[in-house]
Amino acid sequence: MTTFAPIFVPAALREAVADASWFAAMLDAERALARAEASVGAIPPDAAAAIEECCEPGRFDLAALCAEGRAVGNPAEPLVRALREHAGDAAPYVHFGATSQDVVDTAAMIVTRRAIALVADELAGAAAAAAELVAGHRSTPMAARTLLQQAVPTTFGAKAGGWLVGLVDARATLLGVALHAQLGGAAGTLAPLGDRGVEVLGAFARELGLAEPPVPWHTRRTQLAAIGSALQQVASACGKIGLDVVLLSQTEVGEVAEASGGGSSTMPHKRNPVGAVLARACARLVHANVAVLSEGEHEHERAAGAWQAEWTALSEALAHAGGAAAAARRSLTGLEVHGDRMRANMTADVYSERDRIGLQDVEYLGSAVAFADRALAHWRGAS
């Protein structure tokens, strides 16, 4: 994360994807591997116990391990060497049958799981704020806008209902992504484990609470693409809210205002929609990093560069998806809705369709109100 990360990403999410969290997750993977192998008789139980005792982050110099990883192009190899140094007589059984990518990929899934829970919490908060707006303004009339031009009347509740459903669906997609353990050894065959390899894979996945893949996925990166796609949906839902709030907050429009708008260093009169702005910025950073995760074409049994590029991209995409959700939540919480300005802004042409078919507002906007109510029902059903 950059120096500016606190502006965009909540502290808990920054911590969840930090280097220390990655290394802790790699140690979790090594611990689970030793347990799994002991459970099927692949290594002695006392060796597994000794390895487990060594898998404590406080035993290791994180900065030194990161520096050593540059020589070999990955962070797992120096960690495994250091773990063996601590393991004494159990050293030959450390990392037995595994490869560096097994440890890093599995750690990536552990980091992802922890981060997803935090992102989901932010999305739930944003959805609750959106639901309050929907319920409070289900029948507040305003101009719908197509191609940035006033079109026909709608209600603010219907508009916010679209935001709400986007948040609810993005959260469901994110929580529905299956996260698979990775264990295949040097070339995806688990050869040192002989005919116990598949059994160890299953035990390893269970130890970690991760899904068991049918085969190792070293160069089949649909797992990362699925995570990326879910994060894209989060970013799009939050970025959409940010864009709409920014447009509705313009001085010349003035139909909404954030409860805690930001100021300017030179223009004290300004009340900037900072939450909406940050939601948009974070969404863009998610989209940029997900492009790396979605590339997906890796060489033979081990990628040369594409795999290594994923680590930072995954951390950044997770962090900024959470940042987008937190910013959308900030923007929507207590959002001031100026119904009088909404009505005053509507030109006579906006009502032409209503007048042509001879309906009153309460009739003409009936479906818009119904859609606001349906959005609330969708949210309640998912909560």
Active site residues: 264, 302
Length of the chain: 383
* CA-angle at 160, arms to 154 and 165, nearest 5°: 120
Q: Which of 238, 235, 236, 237 shows the shortest CA–CA distance to 317?
A: 235
- 8 Å CB contact between 249 and 276: yes
- 8 Å CB contact between 328 and 283: no
Residues 13, 315: Cα–Cα separation, whole Å:
10
Residue type, 71: A
Residues 268, 250: Cα–Cα separation, whole Å:
16
Residues 51, 31: Cα–Cα separation, whole Å:
7
- 8 Å CB contact between 136 and 63: no
Q: How far is CA 378 from CA 162, 253, 375, in A?
A: 11, 30, 5
Q: Which residues pair with 143 in a beta bridge?
A: 153
